[in-house]
Structure 1
Amino acid sequence: MKSFVALAAFAALSLPASAQARADLSPEATQAAVRYALPHLLSGVRATCAPKLSSTGYLATNGAALLARYSNGSEAAWPAARTALMALGADTDKSDMVEMFSKMPDSALKPFVDATISSMIATKIKPANCGDIERGLELLAPLPPENIAGIAGFLFDMTRRDKKTGSSQGG
């Protein structure tokens, strides 16, 4: 599950949590970004992990249906996800690139963002973690995609608050 949560965090437009904290995104903005990214996240997971996992395992037998569930409704999150992406990028050393992206029409930007998320996820996954990721996906599968994105937004907000207060202790 930890591996999947890390991937969900990475799915928030593939920028580090420190950038998310600097941009001070709301949990709702992060949630929208993750909700939009979920199908692309899963595509990247499947691309890397399918050859490493059992042909009778969860991803092999349910991956296509899960991808369809994650894809259904993802588009509705795009406007808020785009705003979050621009806010995150504006607070990095790549602000010139973000300015260029902000002028692109959605028809050009979305395919770029989609492919970037999928390919970055696929390259960041350690094949040794594929079994854990598959187990996490199976455990999360009954949840609606909005709840998964909401959990990611909640975790990001908690991380951001901990970083602001300098807290390294659990409650």
Structure 2
Amino acid sequence: MRRLALLAATLLLPAQAMAQTPCLTTSEAEAITQVALPDVILETGRICTALPAGSIVRQTSGAFLAKYQAEADRAWPAAQGAIAKLSDPRVSLLLLQSEYARPLITAILAPQIVGRVQPSDCPTIDRIVTLLAPLPPRNVAGVVVAGLQHLKAEKARGKAVVADLPDLPVCAAGRR
């Protein structure tokens, strides 16, 4: 349990605190996103209680979430490697293979991401998720990562964007 706490602390370190932060390939970032998506969707549903009970974001089971969970299961091995790449060298891949690692990681990531959601955002989020629902979860993860990369680039150019974006350290083109 102590090692899992170390893993959690390492994952939460800001990028600036890690000397020469490694970066992720786009596919590695998408794998981490795929693993987090089922919990992000569930956590969003817990915040968006004003939405109708039949809203896609409020679902707690069913085909929609099962599809995301199955893809998260498939993406977990790639996400483990990506997380190990970002983690302190003392955190071994063996620790990440613990049965507790994935639930701990998603329990940390989902509230950090969804913690920015305000109840007034819920109708828009529900519409976006409804529009993306027919896509495979892998594509949705790609849209999320591409969107974050774009907003991060806009922020770096000094353009006004969402102030507190999740920092997924995706490598710049040519640096993998």
| TM-score of the two chains, using structure 2 as the length reference | 0.65
Distance 1:136 1:102, change over 3 A: same
Higher relative contact order (CA 8 A, sep 6+): 1
C-alpha distance in 1, partners of 2:137/2:12?
18
C-alpha distance in 1, partners of 2:112/2:150?
24
| Partner in structure 2 of residue 83 of structure 1 | 81
C-alpha distance in 2, partners of 1:16/1:63?
33
Distance 1:68 1:16, change over 3 A: farther
| Partner in structure 1 of residue 33 of structure 2 | 34
- Counting only pairs closer than 5 Å after superposition, residues 53-64 of structure 1 correspond to structure 2 as 53-60=51-58, 64=62
- Number of equivalent positions: 146
| Partner in structure 1 of residue 165 of structure 2 | none
Distance 1:79 1:24, change over 3 A: same
- Structure 2 unmatched runs, 5+: 1-10, 160-176
Distance 1:157 1:133, change over 3 A: closer
Distance 1:119 1:101, change over 3 A: farther
| Partner in structure 2 of residue 67 of structure 1 | 65
- Structure 1 unmatched runs, 5+: 1-12
Quote how far apart the aligned CAs of 1:75 are.
1.1
C-alpha distance in 2, partners of 1:70/1:15?
27
Instruction: Determine what percentage of the aligned residue pairs are the same residue.
Output: 28
In structure 2, what residue type is equivalent to 1:99? Answer: R
- Counting only pairs closer than 5 Å after superposition, residues 117-128 of structure 1 correspond to structure 2 as 117-128=109-120
| Partner in structure 2 of residue 99 of structure 1 | 90
| Aligned-residue RMSD, C-alpha | 3.4
Quote how far apart the aligned CAs of 1:67 are.
1.1
| TM-score of the two chains, using structure 1 as the length reference | 0.66
